[in-house]
Amino acid sequence: MNKIAAIIGGGVIGGGWAARFALSGWDVAIFDPDPEAARKIDAVMANARRSLPALSDVALPLEGQIRFVPTLAEAVTDADWIQESAPERLEIKHRILKEIQSHCRADALIGSSTSGFKPSELQQGALRADQIFVAHPFNPVYLLPLVELVGNDQATARAADILTQIGMKPLTVRKEIDAHIADRLLEAVWREALWLVKDGIATTAEIDDAIRFGFGLRWGQMGLFETYRVAGGEAGMAHFIAQFGPCLQWPWTKLTDVPELTDELVQTIAGQSDAQSGRHNIRELERIRDDNLVSMMRSLKGRNWGAGALLNEHDTRLSAAATPDLAKPIISVDRVIPVDWSDYNGHMNESRYGQVWSDAADTVMRLIGADANYVASRLSYFTVDTHTKFINECHVGDAITVSTQILEGAGKKVRLFHEMKNGSGAVMASCTQLLIHVSLETRKSCDPAPKVLENLRNIMALQAPLHPESAT
């Protein structure tokens, strides 16, 4: 039976939480008095279904059921996790949290998406204060992994475990403070950006360019302090601070002053923003943002760094949860086509078919024991020949599965036949692949370990009664 998440407030953040939980296999109950809530969340879910699975190289769990309920009580009664995403007004949050606690289980986790309030403020007048904690995410919640956790140690520890299981990065804040960690940093940048616009130094587009073509790229993979450590050269951080620290005393920024948000300034900012990106509607901008985030995070995944390392860890967890039945066809790949696999023809580039066959072969390698530990022992298999038949087009967002048959597994050779199908069961492509066992010390062919040959024989014997279609 699936776990249940209750989402109280179905706006941008609440909808993102609903998508993250549902696409991680949780059932989701949503309460929001807004008559447009269902329509808005349907739009969020469409974007999430298109992008979140594209981050993984393995299949996500089966999507949980999403239901909209007429009362808050109905949403929270059976919930394991309750996420409050109401407007940032303390009196509203107090009223909602009190109602939640009057209907929910005592062991349910109650997280608040608040970007500014401390847990001690949220807990005022609560029936069970320690049950309430801050779980502050970042938009889009279904893609960005960070969640700041602030509150009771026991509650946040349980929350961190759940968030990790659904592919997120919990960051437990050591002490409660207004606006937690990330928003305090963002507020400093935002405040200075407002001054730059107000004083006519830069437009909104120029400020965004300064970030996305400059330090934003560094921050996305190294953050602040590690970036500056590198800037210090061989002498490291101490040298950087010694060299650049004095400029912190210079009156460059206006971090302690807030520009008055006059109608004139608001209109200036809004006008520049419209000129910058008004050719796209919000849904188009969301899809552009999501596609760019997926591509950037997948790039980091290939480097096993930052958010990419987190994605690899989550893929490993998802793979470990699936135990293949070797008496059935080997499903060697089960995934969604990501945006960075497409080309100018609007379909999956032919080079990516090679990636699919390589991933399928890696699955077989793990099954026969030629896994990472085996490679570490300086033994492996190299692909020496492939023949691909392109039958139908694959497009971004398509779900594909590959079934693999071991045609030959004796001596130094392994010969495989892969067949790729889409979600409707139509065959998209097939491939025959020949691999030769090698020593990574000599880079020449050699005999496999006896255990690997034994595993090959056992799997082929289990597969024999299936009589799969042979490659021709």
Q: How many domains does the chain have?
A: 3
- Please compute the mean of the pLDDT values over residues 262-283 and round it to a whole number: 89
Residue 33 shares a structural domain with residue 133: yes
Residue 268 shares a structural domain with residue 191: yes
At 239, the pLDDT band (50, 70, 90 cuts) reads confident
- 252: domain CATH number? 1.10.1040.10
Q: Give 108's strand partners.
A: none
What amino acid is encoded at 435 in this protein? L
Half-sphere exposure (Cβ direction) of 272: Cα atoms closer than 13 Å: 17
Q: How far apart are CA 178 and CA 176, in angstroms?
A: 7
Q: Among residues 120, 151, 117, which one has the least CA distance to residue 133?
A: 151
pLDDT score at 84 = 98
Q: Say which range, 160-164, 249-253, 436-440, 468-472, has the weakest mean pLDDT.
A: 468-472
Rounded percentage of the chain residues whose pLDDT exceeds 90? 83
- Please compute the mean of the pLDDT values over residues 211-235 and round it to a whole number: 90
How does the average pLDDT of the chain come out, rounded? 94
pLDDT in tens, 119-165: 999 999 999 999 999 999 999 999 999 999 999 999 999 999 999 99
Higher-confidence position of 249 and 62: 62
Residue 61 shares a structural domain with residue 102: yes
Single out the residue in 147, 179, 211 at which a domain terminates.
179
Peptide bond into 140 cis (omega under 30): yes
Domain annotation covers residue 33: yes
Residue 92 shares a structural domain with residue 233: no
* C-alpha dihedral sign at 6, 11, 17, 19: positive
pLDDT score at 471 = 42
Question: How many other C-beta atoms lie within 10 A of the C-beta of residue 59?
Answer: 18
pTM of the model: 0.88
- Boundaries of domain holding 175: 4-179
Domain annotation covers residue 87: yes
At 314, the pLDDT band (50, 70, 90 cuts) reads very high
Residue 88 shares a structural domain with residue 158: yes
Residue 158 shares a structural domain with residue 208: no
pLDDT score at 467 = 59
The angle subtended at Cα 173 by Cα 167 and Cα 177, nearest 5°, is 135
Half-sphere exposure (Cβ direction) of 98: Cα atoms closer than 13 Å: 9
- 446: domain CATH number? 3.10.129.10
Backbone angles phi, psi at 290, to 5 degrees: -65, -45
At 470, the pLDDT band (50, 70, 90 cuts) reads very low
Single out the residue in 222, 251, 279 at which a domain terminates.
279
- Please compute the mean of the pLDDT values over residues 226-248 and round it to a whole number: 86
Domain annotation covers residue 60: yes
Residue 327 shares a structural domain with residue 343: yes
pLDDT score at 325 = 87
Domain annotation covers residue 368: yes
Domain annotation covers residue 284: no
Residue 161 shares a structural domain with residue 220: no
What amino acid is encoded at 287 in this protein? R
Q: Say which range, 199-203, 250-254, 461-465, has the weakest mean pLDDT.
A: 250-254
Single out the residue in 264, 279, 294 at which a domain terminates.
279
CB 191 within 8 A of CB 254: yes
Q: Residue 319 pLDDT more than 90? A: no
pLDDT score at 472 = 42
- Please compute the mean of the pLDDT values over residues 178-195 and round it to a whole number: 94
* Residue 99: strand, helix, or coil: helix
Residue 352 shares a structural domain with residue 440: yes
pLDDT score at 469 = 53
pLDDT score at 249 = 79
At 14, the pLDDT band (50, 70, 90 cuts) reads very high
